[in-house]
C-alpha cells in the first residue's frame, strides 16, 4: 500500500460514514415529532426545560440515563410520584430525605411555585418520550421492590392469569404509575407511601377510629376508596400529604377499568 492509497482509504471511509450519518439525521428529524410527542410541547414545558438547565440538575441526576450519576434517574419520575408530592418535595427536599440516613441530600433548589410546576410538566413530557422502553425495569428512588418481586421479569408477564388476585398483583407492579413504586408490601418498609403490609387488618381499625371521615363501611370499601379517592383519609405523616391532600396520584379512578380496580382490591385485601 502506498501513501496515496492510505489517503484514499481515509477519504472514502470518512465520506461514506459522514453521508450515511447525515442522511439518518435527516430521517430522525422526520421522526422526532412523533417519537417525542412534539404536539404536546407547550411553552410551559419549554420553560420547565430551562428550569432544568438553569439549576444544573443534570450534573447530579440523570434524565433519559444521561447526567451526573450522583442522584436518581428522573426519566419516569412523574409516573411514580404525583404532582402534589413532587411539589412538596421540590419546596424542601430535606423534609423527605436526610443526610443521616442516605449520606446524600438534594440542596434546596429554591424554585418559585411557577418554576416547580414548569419543571414537573417538563419531566412529565420527558417521561412519555418513546425511548425503546428504557428503563427495562423501573428505577426507584429509595426503598426496595425486592420483597414479592419477580426478579428480572417484566411486570406485565404475570397478568395472563384469570385469577383476580393474581391480576391485581400484576397491576400493583404495572398500573401506570405502578403502586409498588411508592408502596412496599413488607412490614415496616415505608417508601414514598406507607407500607401496605397488613392493610386489610389495619383498614378495619381505621374506619372504626374517630379520625376517619370517609364513606367506607368495610375494609374492602376502604381499600377501594383509598385507590379512587386518595385524599378521603390521610395516613399521618408530613411526607404523605399536605393541605389535606394526599401525595398519591389521583388518576386511578379515571385511568383504570372498574374491573382492574376490583382485582387490585382483591389482591390488597389479601395483605392481612
Residues that bind ligand HEM (CB under 6 A): 65-66
8 Å CB contact between 111 and 123: no
Task: Report d(CA 265, CA 18) in Å as an integer.
Answer: 57
Q: Which is nearer to another protein, 104 or 272 (CB)?
A: 104
Q: In this complex, which beta carbon is closest to ligand HEM, that of residue 63 or of residue 242?
A: 63
Q: Which does 72 bind (CB under 5 to 8 A by kind): ligand HEM, another protein, none?
A: another protein
Cα angle 183, 189, 193 (rounded to 5 degrees) comes to: 35
Phi, psi dihedrals of residue 66, rounded to the nearest 5°: -115, 130
Phi, psi (5° rounding) for residue 208?
-80, -15
DSSP secondary structure letters along 42-65: -HHHHHHHHHHHHTTGGGTSEETT
Least Å distance between CB 58 and ligand HEM? 9
Buried b vs exposed e over 37-75: b needs ≥16 C-beta within 10 Å? eeeeeeeebebbbebbeebebeebbbbeeebeeebebbb
The listed partner (another protein, ligand HEM, none) that binds 165, CB under 5 to 8 Å by sort, is none
All three cell numbers of 264? 387490585
Q: Which is nearer to another protein, 153 or 251 (CB)?
A: 153
Given the complex with ligand HEM, which of 65 and 147 has the nearer CB atom? Answer: 65
26, burial (CB in 10 Å: exposed 0-12, middle 13-18, buried 19+): exposed
CB nearest ligand HEM: which residue?
66
* CB of 136 or CB of 236, closer to ligand HEM: 136
The distance of closest approach from Cβ of residue 133 to ligand HEM in the complex, given in angstroms and rounded to an integer, is 15
- Closest separation between CB of residue 15 and another protein, Å? 9
CB of 149 to ligand HEM, least distance (A): 24
Helix (H) or strand (E) holding 246: strand 245-246
242 binds, among ligand HEM, another protein, none (CB under 5 to 8 A by kind): none
Q: CB 164 → another protein: shortest distance, Å? A: 25
Q: Which is nearer to another protein, 73 or 225 (CB)?
A: 73
Chosen from ligand HEM, another protein, none, partner binding at 7 (C-beta under 5 to 8 Å by type): another protein
Amino acid at each position: 500500500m502506498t501513501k496515496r492509497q492510505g489517503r484514499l482509504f481515509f477519504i472514502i471511509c470518512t465520506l461514506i460514514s459522514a453521508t450515511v450519518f447525515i442522511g439518518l439525521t435527516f430521517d430522525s428529524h422526520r421522526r422526532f415529532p412523533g417519537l417525542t410527542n412534539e404536539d404536546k410541547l407547550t411553552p410551559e414545558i419549554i420553560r420547565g426545560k430551562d428550569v432544568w438547565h438553569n439549576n444544573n440538575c443534570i450534573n447530579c441526576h440523570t434524565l433519559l440515563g444521561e447526567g451526573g450519576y450522583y442522584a436518581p434517574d428522573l426519566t419516569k419520575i412523574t409516573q411514580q410520584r404525583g404532582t402534589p408530592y413532587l411539589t412538596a418535595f421540590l419546596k424542601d427536599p430535606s423534609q423527605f430525605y436526610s443526610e443521616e440516613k442516605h449520606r446524600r441530600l438534594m440542596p434546596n433548589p429554591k424554585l418559585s411555585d411557577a418554576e416547580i410546576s414548569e419543571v414537573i410538566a417538563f419531566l412529565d413530557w420527558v417521561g412519555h418520550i418513546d425511548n425503546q422502553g428504557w428503563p427495562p425495569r423501573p428505577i426507584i428512588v429509595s426503598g426496595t421492590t425486592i420483597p414479592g418481586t419477580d426478579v428480572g421479569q417484566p411486570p406485565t408477564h404475570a397478568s395472563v392469569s384469570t385469577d383476580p388476585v393474581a391480576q391485581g398483583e400484576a397491576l400493583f407492579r404495572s398500573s401506570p404509575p405502578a403502586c409498588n413504586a411508592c408502596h412496599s408490601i413488607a412490614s415496616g418498609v415505608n417508601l414514598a407511601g406507607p407500607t401496605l403490609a397488613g392493610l386489610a387488618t389495619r383498614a378495619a381499625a381505621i374506619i372504626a377510629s374517630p379520625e376517619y371521615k370517609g364513606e367506607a363501611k368495610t375494609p374492602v370499601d376502604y381499600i377501594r376508596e383509598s385507590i379512587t379517592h386518595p385524599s378521603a383519609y390521610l395516613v399521618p405523616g408530613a411526607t404523605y400529604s399536605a393541605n389535606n391532600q394526599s401525595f398519591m396520584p389521583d388518576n386511578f379512578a379515571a385511568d383504570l377499568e372498574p374491573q382492574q380496580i376490583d382485582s387490585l382490591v382483591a389482591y390488597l385485601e389479601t395483605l392481612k
